[in-house]
Structure 1
Amino acid sequence: MESSQQYLISNDYTEVYQRLPLGLQLAYGIGHVLNDVCASMWFTYLLVFFHLVLQFSNWEAGFMLLVGQVADALATPFVGFQSDQSGTSFFYSYGKRKIWHLLGTICVLGAFPFIFSPCVYCINAQRWVQIVYYCIFIIIFQFGWAAVQISHLSLIPELTPNEHDRTRLTAIRYCFTVISSILVYIVTWLILHLDSGDDSKLGPADGPKFQHIVWIGLGFGLFCSILFHLCVREEDGFGGSDIRGGQPRHNVKEILKNIKVYKVALIYMSTRLFVNLSQVFIPLYLHETLDMTASSLALIPLTMFIGSFLMSVGIEKLNRLFGRKMAYTIGVSMGVAACIWVQYGQGTFYISYGIYVVAVLIGECNFMQINF
C-alpha cells in the first residue's frame, strides 16, 4: 500500500507539474552571485590583504580568518533552523526563505567593504583595537553570508517538486559561481597588472586597489541580488511536505543513525579542507616563497579556476567511464601530485611554467572532489 501511494504521488507530480521557465531558473541562479564574489575575495585575498597590505602579523591575520570561519559555523545551523520556521508576522510575509536572503544581503553589503579597507578612525590605534574592529565586521559578514547561502539553497525545494528541475537549478547555481569567481580574478588581474606593472610586488600602497576590486564585485552582486528578489517568487507548497518527489522525508533520528552520513561527512570535510587551504595559501605561497609579482596573485588563482571549469566539461563522462569512486581517487591523486610538485618545485622553469601546471592540477582536483 505504501509503495502504491508513493507511485501515485509520483504520477500526480508528473501530471500536474509544469516545468520551471528558463527565466525563473536563471533568476534563481544569480541569487547567490553576491556570496560567490565575496567568497572568492575572502578565501583568496583575506590573508594577503591583512598580512601584506595592512601589515598584520601571521598569527593576527590567521586569527581573524579563524574568527570568520567559526562565525560561519555557528551562523549556518542557526539560520537553517530559523528559516524553516513560519509565522504570520510581517517578517515572514515576504517569504520565510527570501526574507533571510534579504537580511543576509544587507549584512554582506554593509560589512564586507570594511573588511578590505583600512581601519576607519583607528588606523593608528593599537593592534588589538584594530583586530576587534575587523572581527566585528567579519562576524556580521559571515552571518549574512550564511543567511544568503542557506536561504538560497533551501529555496530549491520550495520552487519545484521535480527532481530534474532541482538538479538543473543546482547546476545553474554552480554555473554562476564559476562566472562570479572568474570575474573576480579577471578584475583583480587587470587592476593589479595595469596599475602596478609587470615587476611590482604587493604592499601597503595597494590597499585602494583592493577596495576598487571589492566595490566592482559588490556592485555586480547587488545588481544580481536585486534581479533575484524581483523575479523569484517564493512558493509555499512543495518544501513543507513530508514527501519530496515521491520519496518520504527521513527524520533527524534516522539520519543520525545512518553510518553513511558520517562517512560522507568525513570525506566532505577532508575535501573542503584541501580546497579551502589551497585557495587560501596559494597567493601567499606565490608572494612569499616564489617571490612572484602582484599580478600573479590573480593569474594563478584564475588558472586554477579555469582548470576546474575544464574538468566540469568532462567529469560526467569520466564518472560513467570509471565510476564516481575511481574518478574521486583520480582527483585525489592529481592533488597529491600537485602538492609534491609544490614541495620540491624551484627554479626559473617552475616559476615561469611549472606553477601553471600545478594550478591546473589543483583546480581539476578541487572540482573532482567537490562534485564527487
Structure 2
Amino acid sequence: MVSCITLNSTSRVVLASCRNAFTMVANLSLYGIAFIVFEVIRAETRADIENQYRWIAYLSIFIGCCFVGVFYLGTKEPRSKTGIHGDIHARISWTYWFLKILYYQVAIVYMLTRLVLNVSQAYLAFYVIDDLQMAQSSKALVPAIIYICSFIVSILLQEIAWKEQRLKAYYTAGGILWIFCGIAIILLPRSMSLFVYAISIFIGIANALMTVTAVSMQNVLIGQDLNGCAFVCGSLSFLDKISCGLTLFVLQSFHSKFTVIYELLES
C-alpha cells in the first residue's frame, strides 16, 4: 500500500519511516502490557508464571485484533490511476522481476537487514542474562532503549528529502554502526556490563537507519510497476522469514552441541 499511496520517492521513505516508528510503538506496548500483568498477577508458583504469560498473550492478541479491525474498516485502499503501459488492469508476471538484477540486489539487502535485526533481537536477552549476568530487569530495559532510540530516529528520518544516493549513504552508515556495535558486544567484558546500555542506543539508531532505507529500496525497485508490488513485498518477506528461521536453527544447533561438550568437560 505504501507503493500505491504515492509515487514520490521522498513520500515513500516518510511512510516507511512512519511504519517503522509505529512498529517500535507496538514493541514497547508489549512491554507495557507485560509490566501491568506482572504487577497485577503475582507469581509464586510455576502455574502462576504460566498464567502471567497466558494473559500477556491474550491481551496482546486482543489489542492487535482491534487495530487490525480499525485498519480494515477505516483504511480505504488506494486505486492506481495509471498502471503499466497505461492499463490499470494489466498484471505483471512474477517472472518479470527475476529478470531484473535490481531485484536480487534489493533481496540480498533486505534479507541481511532483517537477519541482523531478528537474530540480534532473539538472542539479546540471553546475552544480557547469561553472558553479562545482569539483573532480570535489564532483559526488558535493553530492548526498550533500542526501541525508543529507533522510534526517535524513524521520526527524524521523515524530515529528510530522499534520493537513491541518500538511501545508500544512510544504509551504509547504519550498517557500519551495527558492525561497531557487534564488535563492542563481542569484546565487552562482564565487569563493564553497564556499557551495554550505551551500545543499545547505537543499535537502535542503526536499526532505524537500516530498516527504513531497506524497505524504501523495495519501493525504488517497484517504481511505477504497481501491479507487481505485492509479489515483490511478499517474496522478499518470505525470503526474510526463511533465512531467519534457518539461521536460528543453525545457531541453536551449534549452541546445543557446545553446551553438551562444556558439560562433559566440567564433569
Q: Same fold (TM over 0.5)?
A: yes
Which secondary structure does the structure 2 equivalent of 1:323 belong to?
helix
Which residue does 1:364 correspond to in 2? 205
- Could you tell me how far apart the structure 2 residues matched to 1:296 and 1:278 are? 15
Q: 1:205 to 1:178 in 2, by over 3 A?
A: same
Which residue does 1:328 correspond to in 2? 171
Given that 2:145 and 2:200 are in contact with CA atoms closer than 8 Å, whether structure 1 keeps it comes out as yes
Q: Which amino acid aligns with 1:369?
A: M
Question: In the TM superposition, what is the alpha-carbon distance from 1:177 to its structure 2 partner?
Answer: 1.9
- The counterpart of 2:134, out of the listed 280, 283, 292, is 292
Which residue does 1:303 correspond to in 2? 145
Q: Which amino acid aligns with 2:100?
A: N
Uncovered stretches (5+) of structure 1, i.e. residues with no partner:
1-152, 198-202
> Is 1:183 aligned to 2:32, yes or no?
no
Q: Which amino acid aligns with 2:195?
A: G
- The counterpart of 2:189, out of the listed 331, 340, 346, is 346
User: 1:148-187, aligned counterparts within 5 Å?
Assistant: 153=1, 157=4, 162-163=6-7, 167=12, 170=16, 172-187=18-33
Q: 1:371 to 1:173 in 2, by over 3 A?
A: closer
Which secondary structure does the structure 1 equivalent of 2:102 belong to?
helix
- Pair member with larger Rg: 1
- Could you tell me how far apart the structure 2 residues matched to 1:360 and 1:325 are? 22
Q: 1:196 to 1:354 in 2, by over 3 A?
A: farther
Q: Which amino acid aligns with 1:163?
A: L
Given that 2:21 and 2:155 are in contact with CA atoms closer than 8 Å, whether structure 1 keeps it comes out as no
- The counterpart of 1:256, out of the listed 84, 92, 98, is 98
Which secondary structure does the structure 2 equivalent of 1:163 belong to?
coil
Q: What is the CA RMSD across the aligned residues, in angstroms?
A: 3.8
User: 1:3-152, aligned counterparts within 5 Å?
Assistant: none
TM value normalised by structure 2: 0.63
- Could you tell me how far apart the structure 2 residues matched to 1:210 and 1:333 are? 37
Seq. identity, %: 22
- Could you tell me how far apart the structure 1 residues matched to 2:38 and 2:85 are? 52
Which residue does 1:64 correspond to in 2? none
- Could you tell me how far apart the structure 2 residues matched to 1:204 and 1:341 are? 39
Question: In the TM superposition, what is the alpha-carbon distance from 1:166 to its structure 2 partner?
Answer: 7.9
Which secondary structure does the structure 1 equivalent of 2:199 belong to?
helix
Uncovered stretches (5+) of structure 2, i.e. residues with no partner:
214-267
Q: Which amino acid aligns with 1:178?
A: M
Which residue does 1:37 correspond to in 2? none
- Could you tell me how far apart the structure 2 residues matched to 1:245 and 1:337 are? 48
Given that 2:142 and 2:200 are in contact with CA atoms closer than 8 Å, whether structure 1 keeps it comes out as yes
Given that 1:193 and 1:295 are in contact with CA atoms closer than 8 Å, whether structure 2 keeps it comes out as no
- Could you tell me how far apart the structure 2 residues matched to 1:222 and 1:254 are? 35
Question: In the TM superposition, what is the alpha-carbon distance from 1:343 to its structure 2 partner?
Answer: 0.9
> Is 1:208 aligned to 2:54, yes or no?
no
> Is 1:266 aligned to 2:121, yes or no?
no
The Cα offsets for residues 56-87 of structure 1, whole Å up to 9 and x where unpaired, read as xxxxxxxxxxxxxxxxxxxxxxxxxxxxxxxx
Given that 1:178 and 1:309 are in contact with CA atoms closer than 8 Å, whether structure 2 keeps it comes out as yes
Given that 2:129 and 2:139 are in contact with CA atoms closer than 8 Å, whether structure 1 keeps it comes out as yes
Q: 1:234 to 1:258 in 2, by over 3 A?
A: closer
Which residue does 2:243 correspond to in 1? none
Q: Which structure is higher in RCO with an 8 Å CA cutoff and minimum separation 6?
A: 2
Given that 1:193 and 1:294 are in contact with CA atoms closer than 8 Å, whether structure 2 keeps it comes out as no
Which secondary structure does the structure 1 equivalent of 2:136 belong to?
coil
- Could you tell me how far apart the structure 2 residues matched to 1:229 and 1:166 are? 22
- Could you tell me how far apart the structure 1 residues matched to 2:17 and 2:202 are? 23
Q: Which amino acid aligns with 1:329?
A: T
- Could you tell me how far apart the structure 2 residues matched to 1:298 and 1:318 are? 35
Given that 1:185 and 1:301 are in contact with CA atoms closer than 8 Å, whether structure 2 keeps it comes out as no
Question: In the TM superposition, what is the alpha-carbon distance from 1:356 to its structure 2 partner?
Answer: 0.8
The Cα offsets for residues 137-164 of structure 1, whole Å up to 9 and x where unpaired, read as xxxxxxxxxxxxxxxx59x74xx5x435
- Tell me how many residue pairs correspond in the alignment: 207
Question: In the TM superposition, what is the alpha-carbon distance from 1:179 to its structure 2 partner?
Answer: 1.9
Question: In the TM superposition, what is the alpha-carbon distance from 1:172 to its structure 2 partner?
Answer: 4.8
- The counterpart of 2:124, out of the listed 282, 287, 298, is 282
Which secondary structure does the structure 2 equivalent of 1:334 belong to?
helix
